Structure 1
């Protein structure tokens, strides 16, 4: 991949995709256009996985946390400071999207009453109990996404009715099932993984 993009030169989405080698699709069919994440509630992520074994005499507090427009690590830093502990004493299994409403588990090395008493805008904490177990990165089994696409439109810019947009999405799902098999979905690696304005992240990492 050519990484010689002068500073200050930005590429349009099609150029970025081509530079990353994203030149095809895993299925055929018309798209639905539209805009993602125009509102926080348009993108919801719920972590799916086991809850650490609850033990009344456990050292740690287990909590289910719902955040609106919070980057996970930034929130953990704020929570740790409020509780008077190091952020390394809070464990979670994955970072979530910032511009979204996200729900995930945290294991916190602090008393339950301190955790339940924590208050901050756009944060909801549900204490589940105590545990002796920590969470490791990647311990969850999946993320469940609920996504709202607004302003769906055809390639010529003409608006799409919701019924037609849903029909197109269903057609794409059916096409993928025929190609990949039932219950399978391609792991989409989009341009954001390579760099939003210049796709040089792999080169820098190397």
Structure 2
């Protein structure tokens, strides 16, 4: 294995899995160069389900250049409610385009649909019996664009991918696709997914369980 960069060593990463040369280039020139979509593990009941049994409104938001906490605060402000009534399963990068689930306690679906928040597209999915939380996320799917790479980046990516699969034994280690951007510069788009181990996932069923305990601590 190749020794890692000194900065990586400073945070405990001593070696790189692959001995292949890197591809050079620039990351995150634009937010669209780094896309993250949640692999969802949390279903919803229809919106006309009993609000008493299913008080949470589940929504999917596609965000551009939004920190998860900042968006939750903006969402709660727009709905004139406490930030504590907005929940999510995992935080996401700000300098990116991300798609993720949120739940809003005792929210008004019509009010949520009518929101106009910059660089945010919101789809209301239905109702659940408890707020979404860590463990309800199956994983994340990534699409990463690297601009101005070396000419043989495609071959290097293939070698690196083979090394990652040999090391991790995961068929979802990803693939790099060489292409040219609008300026004719060489780029590589890397698509992969990271799945959370089953041991830390929560079952996506029985949404009424724990509702009373949650509602007793809810901040109005």
TM-score by length of 2: 0.69
Aligned to 1:172: 160
CA contact (8 A) 2:58 2:124 kept: yes
CA contact 1:115–1:127 (8 Å) conserved in 2: yes
| Aligned equivalent of 1:76 | 72
Deviation at 1:120, TM superposition (A): 1.3
> 2:28: which partner in 1?
37
Output the CA distance in 1 between the equivalents of 2:101 and 2:9.
Answer: 38
Residue 66 of structure 1: which of 57, 62, 66 is its match?
62
CA shift, 1:93, in A, is: 0.3
Within 2, Cα distance between the matches of 1:14 and 1:180?
Answer: 21
Superposition deviation, residue 114 in structure 1: 0.8
Cα distance in 1 between the residues matched to 2:16 and 2:158: 16
**1:146, 1:64 → 2: CA distance?**
19
* Structure-2 change in CA distance of 1:131 and 1:178 (3 Å): closer
Q: Aligned in 2, Cα 1:94/1:182: closer, same or farther, shift over 3 Å?
A: closer
CA RMSD after TM alignment: 2.0
| Candidates 9, 12, 15, aligned match of 1:18 | 9
Q: Tell me which residue corresponds to 2:188.
A: none
Q: Is the 8 A contact 2:44 2:126 kept in 1?
A: no
| TM-score in terms of structure 1 length | 0.73
Deviation at 1:182, TM superposition (A): 4.1
Q: Cα offset for 1:104?
A: 0.4
- Distance (whole Å) between structure 2 residues aligned to residue 18 and residue 132 of structure 1: 45
Indicate conservation of the 8 Å contact 1:65/1:125, yes or no: yes
Q: Identify if the C-alpha distance between structure 1 residues 130 and 95 changes in structure 2 by more than 3 Å, giving closer, same or farther.
A: same
List, as ranges, runs of 4+ consecutive aligned residues in structure 1 with deviation greater than 3 Å: none
Once the two structures are overlaid, the 10-residue window that deviates more, 14-23 or 117-126, is 14-23
Q: CA deviation at 1:21?
A: 3.8
- What 5-or-longer segments of structure 1 have no aligned partner? 1-12, 153-159, 188-206
Point out the more displaced range, 13-22 or 166-175.
13-22
- CA distance in 2 between counterparts of 1:180 and 1:128 reads 35
Q: Mind listing any 5+ residue stretches in structure 2 that lack a counterpart? A: 174-193, 195-220
67-76 vs 20-29, which moves further = 20-29
Give the C-alpha shift of residue 131 in structure 1: 2.3
Does the 8 A contact of 1:53 with 1:133 survive in 2? no
Q: Which residue of 1 aligns with 2:118?
A: 121
Is 1:46 aligned to 2:37, yes or no?
Answer: yes
In structure 1, C-alpha distance between the alignment counterparts of 2:135 and 2:88, rounded to whole Å: 9
